[in-house]
Amino acid sequence: MDNNSNVDKEKPSESGQKFDASKTMEQLKNGLMNGWNKAGEAFRNAVKSINDKVNPVEVIEYNAKRDFLKLIYCLIIADKEVTDNEKAEFVSIGAELDPDFNDYYEQDQLRIDELVRENEKDFGYLGSIKVTMGNIIAEIIKQPDVTIQDRKVLLWDILVMAEVGGYKSEEKELVKYAASKVKISETLLSEMVNYYDAIEEINSELEELKKSPRPFNDIYPIFEKLGDRKSVMEEAVAELLKDKEGGM
């Protein structure tokens, strides 16, 4: 597991910018996202076992990264306040995750925007996003040989993206809905949130220590202790996601 999780920017507040590209990419590259996802060279997602097991033709026809990026876009538009900068950051993230992103992202964004508009009259704005996310998740989890572990990792990934976005009420509602669609209990979702918050708290403490004027020899033991705590938390998350029984 890659434990390089130093983040240069603070977690966005509810009143600040809700989507930080540099922090998001850091999360995607560190142990929070990469310990159990799809492929180290690009993006590991909830369908690792799918791309390992289905035949090459099926792998080419189904792009799990593309569907995951659609879910990210749904989270971004949750509060209706999508700036040009946020859209640019999303493009940057997508290009990093999938080399083919530029071939389809405008088409996918337009289609999601269209679906949300079509369904808003019947379901409300957030409800229409739920409908769209539900259909995307259904496409992901219907792929051959999807396991409970795959569904847990997908939910973890969605949670991390929502947390990086500030985890406001809209994102919380969408994550809770996603949990129901992947058939993961609210209890397990709450456990995931607690682990994420605990790891982020340790990251914040580590960042504060770096700014300390105290001699290195004084703060090094604290660094070690925090690093050990973080490793324990990350291992606990890994075990939680690998558990074949829990979460239903």
pLDDT, one tens digit per residue, over 16-44 is 444 444 554 455 444 334 333 332 333 33
Residue 15 lies in a domain: no
Q: State the distance between the two ends of the chain, measured CA to CA, in whole angstroms.
A: 26
Q: In this structure, is residue 8 part of a structural domain?
A: no
pLDDT at 127 over 70: yes
Dihedral angle at the C-alpha atoms of 13, 14, 17, 23, nearest 10 degrees? 50
Is 193 inside a domain boundary? yes
> Mean pLDDT over all residues of the chain?
76
Range of the domain at 216: 21-242
DSSP 8-state symbol, 247? T
Query: Considering the entire predicted model, what is its pTM?
Result: 0.71
Rounded to whole angstroms, the Cα distance separating 63 from 143 reads 11
Structural domain contains residue 148: yes
| 7 occurs within a structural domain | no
Look at residue 4 and tell me if it is in a domain.
no
37, part of any domain: yes
- Selection from 118, 125, 121 nearest residue 74 by Cα: 125
Residue 199 lies in a domain: yes
Residue 247's pLDDT is 61
DSSP 3-state assignment of 117?
A: helix
Number of domain units in the chain: 1
pLDDT higher than 60, residue 228: yes
Q: Which residues contact 109 (CB under 8 A, 6 or more apart)?
A: 73
DSSP 18: S
